[in-house]
């Protein structure tokens, strides 16, 4: 039995489309997720944090004028559980209002350019600012080296699956005085 040329071309086109779709969907073990982090919290409980691509892109659209890229936002949020636990253990906190006020002050001192209206930021975008500020406060403590060692141990015991487009090899903003979203 012979196939018609049209049927053969149609079959190849459909198979090609299916292969392409499978390849694109297979770019991540967790479709639609920028990262999935499984970690042990400060109470010894295993937790899982899922960062959706939609959430990350929403934050980037809000904080983009500050220079925030998707990779940086994913890294800040994936490290948030450690940063918040460490900050709490050392009596540090940053409220949403403090994060907004710090952003406004930083923008007032910065040269004219793109700005962000802190009052209109989503809770997710403010969380990125809060974590960035908490990380900075932790890096200023006398125990910063010890906290950095604890971070390294926490990271080593965590299981992190990043979608390839969000994977970064460095985290200079964790207790390292690296780039901050709030630098002027």
| SS3 track for 119-144 | HHCCHHHHHHHHHHHHHHHHHCCCCH
Q: Which residues contact 159 (CB under 8 A, 6 or more apart)?
A: 37, 38, 39
Instruction: Please state, as a whole number, how many other Cβ atoms lie within 10 Å of the Cβ of residue 184.
Output: 10
* Global confidence as pTM: 0.75
As a whole number of angstroms, the distance between CA 156 and CA 169 comes to 14
Domain ranges of the chain: 28-166
pLDDT of 25 over the 50 cut: no
pLDDT of 141 over the 90 cut: yes
As a whole number of angstroms, the distance between CA 49 and CA 130 comes to 17
Helical H segments across the chain, by residue range: 5-25, 53-63, 70-89, 96-109, 123-139, 144-157
> For residue range 89-139, what is the model confidence (pLDDT) as tens digits?
999 999 999 999 999 998 888 777 778 999 999 999 999 999 999 999 999
Instruction: Please state, as a whole number, how many other Cβ atoms lie within 10 Å of the Cβ of residue 122.
Output: 14
């Amino acid at each position: 039995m012979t196939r018609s040329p049209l049927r053969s071309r149609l079959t190849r086109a459909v198979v090609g489309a299916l292969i392409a779709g499978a390849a694109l969907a297979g770019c991540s073990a967790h479709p639609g997720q920028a990262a999935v982090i499984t970690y042990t919290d400060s109470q010894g409980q295993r937790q899982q944090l899922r960062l959706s691509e939609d959430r990350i892109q929403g934050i980037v659209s809000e904080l983009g004028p500050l220079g925030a890229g998707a990779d940086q936002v994913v890294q800040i949020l994936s490290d948030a559980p450690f940063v918040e636990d460490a900050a709490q253990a050392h009596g540090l906190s940053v409220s949403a209002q403090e994060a907004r006020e710090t952003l406004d002050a930083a923008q007032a001192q910065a040269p004219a350019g793109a700005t962000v209206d802190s009052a209109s930021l989503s809770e997710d975008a403010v969380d990125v600012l809060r974590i960035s500020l908490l990380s900075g406060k932790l890096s200023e403590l006398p125990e910063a080296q010890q906290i950095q060692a604890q971070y390294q141990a926490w990271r080593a015991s965590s299981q992190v699956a990043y979608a390839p487009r969000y994977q970064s090899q460095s985290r200079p903003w964790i207790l390292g005085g690296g780039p901050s979203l709030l630098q002027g």
